[in-house]
Chains A and B, each alone.
Chain A
Amino acid sequence: MIKINLLPQEYRKKERTSFKVFGSLLLSLIVVCASFVYFGHVYLNEFKVIEAKRVSKEEKLKNLEVWAKRDDALVSERKEYEKRSKTIQKIANSRLLWTKTLDQFIDITFNEGNTERHWVWFSNLSANTGSGRRGPTMTLAAKVATGQFSRQANYLDDLKNDKEFFKDFLSVNAPGGRVVMTEKKEPQAAISFKLDLRMKPSSLWAKNQKKK
């Protein structure tokens, strides 16, 4: 339907912004303003504060990192020095005093001059310190006077039963060998055998056990 206003201009109702329009405009404005106020609050009050907090933490961390790096360097140095100390301790503790071992070995073999129990001598000796899990070894070409194997057994017993000498040893080979004769000597018979002495690895030596 079409409405036609036939009234002259002066009699016509004055044209005004409609209440609805105004209301909607106002409402829109309020909503928009409130939204932006909220945004402003979130951005400036919450975000900026938290950002400032982050920056401050970063600053704090930056300061602390100098100390942390220093501590890292100290820890790294400590580890390196501990490693070096352990290495040198290992070097020192793994040294076998061959003079002592050989001296004790001579004592047992010599047996204070008593030749009744055993009378042993050697024609060569090969000794090795070993490495890692393999302990030192002593290999000797031995002879025991008279053809009695009991004397060889006596000697091997004496080696094993000497607590001071044998404490770091692992094994000694079983008795056995062959009887050899030397006409120019007295007694002529002797048992020729290989003496194989094996020691424990250095970590298991008595002196190193005490330290643990």
Chain B
Amino acid sequence: MNEGNGDKMLVSEIKSGNPIAFETMVIKYQPKLLSSLIAYTKSRDQAEELCQKTFIRVWEKIDSFRGDSALFTWIYRIGINLAKNDFASSYSKSAKKTDSLDQTEHDVAQFISPEIELIASESSDQIFRYIETLEVDLRTAFTLREIDGRSYEDIAIIMTCPVGTVRSRIFRARQLIIEFMNQENILNG
């Protein structure tokens, strides 16, 4: 999971009213939340709507987040509770929307895209095969981060290299993966 201590600072920025920090959080966790909600509701449309509602609720309630759990766990619980309420009240996706979307909703909506479907598509196998071809240092740092959820500091100890090198390797791995995806038109460039 990508839930390092740095989320605390991000949360702090959001609490202070920084909309860019909020937007960053949405970008970071929206794919994971949307996947969870799709799995839960079995409906992409409903999941997208719930996803928007969830982040709006997060924006409204962020002051009550005390950091006792990981940020995504908290977000996830809000999403699932909203989904439960939706089911309980037989909420219809045709329910009325607000006449004027506020800025928060707009910011959330723009990051919900069909790209998430990539995750379940055959393209993922292509990407995994590509990751296997990455230079071993890049692949190791990247997988320790993404799969094991290790901090940069931990990875630096494991790989006996400076933290800055870890950061650089993870970044390079990600960029190479994106380049590959662009090259294969997996994300339409």
B and A form one assembly: no
